[in-house]
Amino acid sequence: MRQGQKDSSDMKEGKKRRDDFPEPEDSNKCRWCRFPLLVALLQLLLGVAVIAVAFLMLAISPSLLTRETPHWAGIILCLVSILGFILYCITYVPDERTSMQFIVKLLYFVLCTIGLVISVLVMAFAGHHYTQTSSFICEQVGEDCVCTLDQDDPIARTFTYEGVSDCEVITGTLTLYFLVQILLNLFQALVCAVGAFILWKHRYQVFFAGLQIGSPSTQRWQKV
């Protein structure tokens, strides 16, 4: 009888100790909760979309300036997303080094912040050019399209778009592309802000380091 009571007591004590240990995390659940893969995926998709729209704008006229075709903003976002995928992968290497993880997370946070600033700048440029092109008065001069904001002003600044066979492309299609760039970069800025906020909130992500503290009897673990 005593032996049965002893066994029952040992089972209860063993169960209590197992409860004190962190339960093993499911690999799929762990991946989604430790770093939001959706953030990096959205950054990649938005970056590719910005690049595609920028080259479509450049196809209208080769004389468009670099600030008017912000493919560079999309390239930066693609680099940030690639770094996010790297961070997603190295978090789950069994023998990961904390210093490498910290460096990658810090770089991702910094690049997300830079991406946020760049997206805001692109929105400012695109908004300015959208206001201009929507007010343009254009006329065809050979193979070029010459536009101005006020035809009655003899000293008004003129904008020449080379290789444009129809000025309707400038006042219509190009204006629409500027509006699309504003929307895409707005979403980019929001996604970058979310990515930076996640790392900032969790102090560059809370991850399980496997450090055991306390007395052997309690067997408690701590996340750092």
Q: Which amino acid is at 201?
A: K
- Residue 190 is predicted with a pLDDT of 95
Whether 142 shows a pLDDT value over 60: the answer reads yes
The pTM assigned to this predicted structure is 0.70
pLDDT, the chain, mean: 76
Give the C-alpha distances (Å, rounded to integers) separating 23 from 26, 90, 142, 146, 220: 9, 21, 74, 69, 12
Q: Give dist(CA 211, CA 132) in Å, integer.
A: 60
Q: Is the pLDDT of residue 139 over 80?
A: yes
Q: Write out pLDDT tens, residues 64-115.
A: 888 889 999 999 999 999 988 887 776 554 444 567 777 878 888 889 999 9
pLDDT of residue 35: 55
Closest CA to 134 of 149, 118, 120: 149
pLDDT in tens, 163-222: 888 888 888 899 999 999 999 999 999 999 988 888 777 654 454 333 444 444 444 444
- Alpha carbons 180 and 136: distance in angstroms, whole number: 19
What percentage of the chain carries pLDDT values higher than 90?
Answer: 30
Task: Write the CB contacts of 172 (distance below 8 Å, at least 6 apart in sequence).
Answer: none
Higher pLDDT, 127 or 152: 127
pLDDT of 19-78, one tens digit each? 444 444 444 444 444 556 888 899 999 999 999 999 999 998 888 888 889 999 999 999
Angle value at C-alpha 67, between 40 and 174, nearest 5 degrees: 95
Amino acid at 113: T
Q: Is residue 99 within 8 Å of 199, Cβ to Cβ?
A: no
